[in-house]
Amino acid sequence: MKTILVVNGEKYWKDILPAYNVVQKSIQNTSWILKSGKLYVGDKDGIIQPDAILWRVGAIKPTEIQTNALDLITLAGVPCVNAPETLKIGFDRLSMLATIKKLGLSVIDFDVVTKSTDLKNIKRTFPFVVKVGNYHGGFGKVLVEDEQKWQDIQDLLFVTNDYITIEPFINYVRDIRYIAINDKVWAMSRKGKFWKANIETTDFKEFEPEEALVNDLKMLQNAIGADIIAIDILEEENGDLHIVEYNDIPGLSGFSDELKYELATVLTRALR
């Protein structure tokens, strides 16, 4: 029985891949070994030699162990979804945004500073959104509504060494996620209890994807060689759409189980 390593992520993959020995490990607790061209991954539960890897590392701070692991996966030639070279493009928020802009897609307007002391030079109309570093899942992100809160946030950001992104607050009517897996595309809207749609989400609704956005997503998917990719979009009341980011390790919450099986098929096809 071949072994599939799931790095971080959801706990249901054993049920989705019953014909394989599915082992789940957290990147934070692993050690990676390349010996005679073979890849081994260990933690407190033991060492395995994976035949394929499903990379589901989500909303945690990017660290050197992640880049080392991706390089070792490449050196060992172990199939990985997404491929290491694809994951590296989106490993950092700035390289992700640069990729979107290079392709000419309509991404949300943003400013960036590498030192918090430069925030005093950024002038934005309230409200606006401040995002620290490279996290998914709504982490490291805050809504700034007035001058008093902005002063407090600047004081708090003084302690970070991460870069800081500033973007307008979009008073959206729909938060939309488009996901492509292989050659298939799905679309879903979601609502959150508060302003972040992916935090305490209260409503999911799948709908028929629009051709123009499908074409944009497929162009992006082909450009970075992704097996799975999502774009997150905010829709205003007037119908204007704003791409916020792409995600090469997107969560599947709110979508049907079809997506899980499609992603599993992509991985198992690489094992044949």
56 in Cβ contact with 195 (< 8 Å):
no
88 falls within a domain? no
228 shares a domain with 123: no
Would you say residue 191 has pLDDT above 90? no
**Predicted confidence band of residue 52 (pLDDT cuts 50, 70, 90):** very high
Residue-level pLDDT at 106: 86
Distance CA 37, CA 33 (A): 10
Distance CA 4, CA 51 (A): 6
User: Using one digit for the tens of pLDDT, what is the confidence trace for 201-254?
Assistant: 778 899 999 999 999 999 999 999 999 999 999 999 999 999 999 999 999 988
Would you say residue 93 has pLDDT above 90? no
42 shares a domain with 177: no
pTM: 0.92
The residue length of the chain stands at 272
Pick the closest to residue 93 from 145, 130, 54 (CA basis): 130
Residue-level pLDDT at 203: 83
Distance CA 169, CA 143 (A): 8
CA angle, 81 then 266 then 184, to 5°: 110
Strand order in the sheet with 111-113: 111-113, 164-168, 128-132, 141-144
Residue-level pLDDT at 205: 93
Residue-level pLDDT at 193: 77
244 in Cβ contact with 234 (< 8 Å):
yes
Could you tell me the CATH number of the domain that includes residue 64?
Answer: 3.40.50.20
Q: Which amino acid is at 138?
A: G
252 shares a domain with 176: yes
Would you say residue 129 has pLDDT above 70? yes
Q: Which amino acid is at 86?
A: T
Work out how many domains the chain is built from and give that number.
3
> How many Cβ atoms sit within 10 Å of the Cβ of residue 148?
9
Of 168, 188, 209, the domain-final residue: 168
206 in Cβ contact with 170 (< 8 Å):
no
199 in Cβ contact with 140 (< 8 Å):
no
Q: Averaged over 260-267, what is the pLDDT?
A: 98
24 shares a domain with 126: no
Could you tell me the CATH number of the domain that includes residue 150?
Answer: 3.30.1490.20
Beta strands 128-132; 38-43: pairing state? unpaired
User: Using one digit for the tens of pLDDT, what is the confidence trace for 2-47?
Assistant: 999 999 999 999 999 999 999 999 999 999 999 999 999 999 999 9
| 173 backbone dihedrals φ, ψ, rounded to 5° | -100, -25
User: CB neighbours of 270 closer than 8 A, spacing ≥ 6?
Assistant: 52, 79, 81
Domain encompassing residue 44: 3-81
Tracing tokens 């508060």 back to the chain, one arrives at: 194
Q: Looking at the DSSP assignment, which residues form a beta bridge with residue 39?
A: 34
